[in-house]
Amino acid sequence: MTKSIDQNGREYSRFWFILTLLLGTFTMSISQSSLSTAYPTLMQAFHIPASTVQWLTTGFMLVMCVSMPISPWLLNNISFRTLYLTDLVLFDLGSLMIVMTPASWGINGFWFMMVGRVLEAFAVGVLFPSYQSVLLTITPEAERGFTMGVAGLVMGSALAVGPIVSGIVLKFFTWKSLFIFFMIIITVIFAVGAAGAIRDVMERHTTELDWLSVFLSLGLIGFMYVINEIGKRDVNWGLDTVLLVVSLAMLVWFVIRQFHLRTPLLELRVLRTFNYDLAIMLTALSYVALIVTTIIFPLYYQGVLKLSPFASGMSLVPGAVLLSLLNPVTGSLADHIGYKPTMLLGMIMIICGWVGATLLVNAQSLLAMINCAMVIEGGNAFVMMPAVTMGANSLPDELVAHGTAVITTIRQVFGSAGVAVATIVLTTATKNAQQRGASVLVANLRGYHLVFMMMVAVAIVGFVMAVMLRDDSQKKNN
């Protein structure tokens, strides 16, 4: 078995290190999208409306986004072994709080549960960029495509698998069983990591934490909150507009401050690299395609085809399986033929999938829509993680951690914005069609048709960006 040397000069197994790292991150990642199918159960258990229970996902995403920019500083100042194991403990603690929440507490119990959800989100937000930075750092550049392809199982497959796992668990057990399931796996992974599988593999450069930058980064929460309010009913737009302006002002100040600090919280000078900027946009747009597929398609299955939540969740399985199978393959493909051809192929697949969905939406065929989803998710495997790898390859090694933090944060913001816009288009188009006298079915089909057309346009923009890439990988390999 191949041995590598950690920062303490001791040998360790890269295989077990990477496997333990990815299993932990994968399990924690599933929690990001796993609660969507549990909403009705939680609403009934705590006697709360859908707008309140949705905070379990919205709040998770907000905290996750604001914790991502802190990850480079943590990697530079804390042993990775300590950081990873602490993340697992935080996630376990948050899950335990959720499991221990009595439903009899009603709305108070829900907010206690929300605190546990915040702990989970902070752990995931720190770990998402960190695990990518670690993998990129310990892997030779010529082998990064395959390694990050395997890492794509976490980013892509976990998002698609979340609703499937929760649908299966909720069919046979109570909603708390979902979090007990997470706790058991994370506890086992913690034991394996603490026993020696996880080592300190990152070189550290101790710096002081710029607390003002941390505070200013909270503007991300306000910005993401307003984005998620778009399209909802009874929104106080006066208050939300003030919040948006203040949040944007904080983010602008944050950006300006990073360029003037000797050791910034987040090194935004990475944005001066053209290929890296294109990589950001490609991974973000491919993520939008993936997350819109995993959220909008189940709505189509339930609203138009009248499938049950369990059946709609299971309808996501083929796409999730294909995505999981293709991620390592596309990584190796990028190593051999170059990143640009790989991502061009992926964007063509995504375009074809959305065009197919646009043309076939009125056919009301489950099989046809599953095939379209598979093509879209398959295309995502050719774009998202290869774009991350190519972006990292365009940066010096000391900026990889900052680069992955920036790219992960922007991807999350784009994903949230994409879902918000798709939901607005869907609800607005459906409502307008009904006001013109269309039946509920016809109005729904009109809404989905416009959403799919919008996603075709987004995918075409991504294709143009892939054409603009400068692929230097072949030159480096020769």
What integer pLDDT is reported at residue 476 of this predicted model? 44
Question: Phi and psi (nearest 5°) for 139?
Answer: -105, 130
Q: Is the pLDDT of residue 201 over 50?
A: yes
Q: Is the pLDDT of residue 197 over 90?
A: no
Q: Is the pLDDT of residue 144 over 80?
A: no
What tokens appear for 105 in the block? 């507490």
Which domains does the chain carry?
1-206 (1.20.1250.20), 210-264 (no CATH), 269-478 (1.20.1250.20)
433: Cα separation from own chain's centroid: 33
What integer pLDDT is reported at residue 478 of this predicted model? 40
Q: Which of the residue ranges 160-174, 344-358, 423-437 has the most confident prediction, judged by mean pLDDT?
A: 344-358
Q: What's the one-letter identity of residue 439? A: S
CA 315, 316, 321, 323 dihedral sign is positive
**Tally of residues, the chain:** 478
The answer to whether 117 and 59 have CB atoms below 8 angstroms apart is yes
CA 29, 147, 281, 402 dihedral sign is positive
* Mean pLDDT across the chain: 84
Instruction: Give the integer Cα–Cα distance in Å for 268 and 259.
Output: 7
* 213-232 pLDDT tens trace: 989 989 988 888 887 777 66
* Of the listed ranges 73-82, 195-204, 358-367, the one predicted with least confidence: 195-204
* 5 phi-psi bin (left φ>0, alpha ψ -120 to 50, beta other): beta
* Of the listed ranges 85-94, 141-150, 292-301, the one predicted with least confidence: 141-150
Question: Phi and psi (nearest 5°) for 235?
Answer: -85, 135
The answer to whether 298 and 315 have CB atoms below 8 angstroms apart is yes
Place of tokens 């009899």: 104
* 237-272 pLDDT tens trace: 888 899 999 999 999 999 999 988 888 888 888 888
Instruction: Give the integer Cα–Cα distance in Å for 292 and 450.
Output: 13
What integer pLDDT is reported at residue 56 of this predicted model? 81
* 9-65 pLDDT tens trace: 788 888 888 889 888 988 888 877 777 667 777 888 888 876 677 778 778 888 888
Q: Is the pLDDT of residue 1 over 60?
A: no
What integer pLDDT is reported at residue 348 of this predicted model? 96
- Inter-CA distances, 173 with 92, 183, 301, 472, Å: 20, 15, 24, 52
DSSP assignment of 252-314 equals HHHHHHHHH-SS-SS-GGGGG-HHHHHHHHHHHHHHHHHHHHHHHHHHHHHHTS---HHHHHH
What tokens appear for 290 in the block? 């993936």
Higher-scoring residue by pLDDT: 247, 400:
247
- Inter-CA distances, 47 with 52, 210, 225, Å: 10, 42, 24
Instruction: Give the integer Cα–Cα distance in Å for 354 and 288.
Output: 12
